[in-house]
């Protein structure tokens, strides 16, 4: 597993250094889903950084209400997209 600082730096790189790492971290700390009932969560924080993260990572921080199944689907899609677009290690052959 990558250290938090490395994940943060990779996020900063993927967003083309448009935002400083500490601003990205502040935004991610502010984004949270509050549990309303058995299967429903409300997300109530959106800013310029979350809007750009939606585009870059194909997430959906803009949607106000989400059920748990949709949240899991979005996280799975984002995880696949993140790992499929990671830069190659030095000396590693390009993937076909």
- Taking the chain (96 residues) in consecutive chunks of 10 residues, what is each chunk's mean pLDDT? 70 91 89 85 88 83 80 77 58 46
Has residue 19 been placed in a domain?
Answer: no
**The pLDDT value given to residue 94:** 45
Could you tell me if residue 22 is inside a domain?
no
Cα of first residue to Cα of last residue in the chain, in angstroms, is 25
Number of H helices, E strands in the chain: 4, 3
The answer to the question of residue 38 being in a domain is yes
Q: What is the pLDDT of residue 96?
A: 41
Q: Mutual orientation of helices 48-57 and 68-84 as an angle, nearest 10°?
A: 70
Task: Supply the pTM of this predicted model.
Answer: 0.61
- In the chain, how many domains are there? 1
Return the H-helix or E-strand segment holding 30.
helix 21-30
What pLDDT shows up at residue 93?
46
Give me the domain span that covers residue 68: 31-86
Residue 1 lies in a domain: no
For residue 16 the two structure tokens come to 């083309």
pLDDT at 17: 93
């Amino acid at each position: 597993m990558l250290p938090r600082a490395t994940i943060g730096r990779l996020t900063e790189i993927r967003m083309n250094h448009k935002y400083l790492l500490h601003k990205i971290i502040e935004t991610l700390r502010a984004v949270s889903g509050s549990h309303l009932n058995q299967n429903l969560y409300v997300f109530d924080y959106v800013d310029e950084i979350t809007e750009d993260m939606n585009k870059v990572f194909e997430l959906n921080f803009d949607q106000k209400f989400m059920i748990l199944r949709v949240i899991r689907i979005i996280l799975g899609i984002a995880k696949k997209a993140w790992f499929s677009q990671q830069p190659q290690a030095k000396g590693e052959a390009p993937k076909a």
